[in-house]
Amino acid sequence: MLEVEALHVHYGGIHALKGISMEVPKGKIVTLIGANGAGKSSTLRAIAGLVKDKRGRVRWNGGDVTQMTPESVLRSGIALCPEGRRIFPHLTVMENLMLGAYIRDDQVGVKATLDWVFELFPRLKERTWQKGGTLSGGEQQMLALGRALMSQPDLVMMDEPSLGLAPLLVKEVFEIIQAINVEGKTVLLVEQNAFAALKVADYAYVLEVGSLVLDGPGSKLLEDPRVKEAYLGG
Ligand code: ATP
């Protein structure tokens, strides 16, 4: 279980997160929706240890990870699949995936995870020698997700995994998110595609300019007039 308490993030003079509190229970899919600039990425980056100027508390499985380095957070079982894919364009698919496993030294376990990632993303298996940068947008997104899974995390945080993808691929990405969850991974999903995110989410939070304004089960928020008006096109 991940617990965020009164989390503040500042970038110089910008108060990007103004004391948000949220929970991600083990085994669930929780989504954070909100407009551009609301602070969704900042939330994930702060949890991952990538933001210097923060206040509040992040607890993970009972331990305090607020001030941990990104590597320690990853070792504790939390992986971030960042926005914009951020794969290494000059490395091959296989090299990108193996970088995701750099914190592990159990060769047999790494091979088993690799097999699982190839099951989830058969297209990556056909392209192990291809340079990351020459993959299509959708394939790069799958590589980024696969790389995050290679660390064998308990919690996968995904920042806009459907961004810029064609509708058919968006559907596929959300099916894969559900498949990852069924395999026992807890998911914290940041999305601008509110409709698709709320449909798969057990629980959801709505972020507006640095503050949480609404939360509830995904199915409930789908029916909420305020959510419909602001995020689902009326
Ligand atoms: P989007 O959906 O557009 O990615 P978001 O909800 O993920 O937006 P954040 O990226 O967390 O929002 O940004 C929140 C606010 O913090 C924005 O006003 C943004 O300009 C600002 N911000 C984010 N990162 C930095 C940074 N490194 N330096 C300065 N300001 C930043």
Tens digit of each residue's pLDDT (9 = 90 or more) over 169-189: 899 999 999 999 999 999 999
Does residue 142 lie within any of the structural domains? no
- pLDDT of 192 reads 87
Q: Bridge partners of 164?
A: none
> What interface predicted TM-score (ipTM) does this complex get?
0.93
What residue owns the CA closest to ligand 1's atom 1? 36
* Ligand 1 touching residue 211 (CB < 6 A): no
* Ligand 1 touching residue 36 (CB < 6 A): yes
- pLDDT of 128 reads 97
Please report the atom of ligand 1 found closest to the CA of residue 9.
Answer: 16
Say how many Å lie between the CA of residue 11 and the centre of ligand 1: 9
In this structure, is the dihedral angle defined by the CA atoms of residues 60, 66, 67 and 70, taken in order, positive or negative?
Answer: positive
What is the rounded (10 degree) CA torsion for 59, 61, 65, 70?
-130
Task: Determine the average pLDDT of the residues in 142-149.
Answer: 95
Say how many Å lie between the CA of residue 130 and the centre of ligand 1: 32
Does residue 113 lie within any of the structural domains? no
User: Domain count of the chain?
Assistant: 1
Confirm whether pTM is higher than 0.90. yes
* Residue 144, φ and ψ in degrees, nearest 5: -65, -40
Say how many Å lie between the CA of residue 41 and the centre of ligand 1: 7
Please report the atom of ligand 1 found closest to the CA of residue 192.
Answer: 2
* Ligand 1 touching residue 52 (CB < 6 A): no
Task: State both tokens at 36.
Answer: 């551009």
- pLDDT of 234 reads 64
Rounded to 10 deg, the angle between the 107-120 and 93-100 helix axes is 120
Does residue 85 lie within any of the structural domains? no
Nearest Cα residue to 161 out of 48, 84, 87, 99: 84
Please report the atom of ligand 1 found closest to the CA of residue 12.
Answer: 29
Does residue 65 lie within any of the structural domains? yes
Does residue 144 lie within any of the structural domains? no
Does residue 44 lie within any of the structural domains? yes
Residue 148, pLDDT > 90, answer yes
- pLDDT of 233 reads 79
**No. of H helices and E strands in the chain?**
10, 10
Query: Domain residues for 30?
Result: 1-77+155-162+186-234
CA distance 162 to 84: 10
Instruction: Return mean pLDDT, the chain.
Output: 94
What residue owns the CA closest to ligand 1's atom 21? 16
CA distance 221 to 10: 29
What residue owns the CA closest to ligand 1's atom 29? 11
Does residue 123 lie within any of the structural domains? no
Task: State both tokens at 202.
Answer: 């057990």
Does residue 148 lie within any of the structural domains? no
Say how many Å lie between the CA of residue 37 and the centre of ligand 1: 5
Say how many Å lie between the CA of residue 83 and the centre of ligand 1: 12
The CATH number given to whatever domain includes residue 70 is 3.40.50.300
What residue owns the CA closest to ligand 1's atom 10? 41
Please report the atom of ligand 1 found closest to the CA of residue 17.
Answer: 14
Residue 138's pLDDT band, with cuts at 50, 70 and 90, is: confident
Instruction: Name the amino acid, one letter, at 81.
Output: C
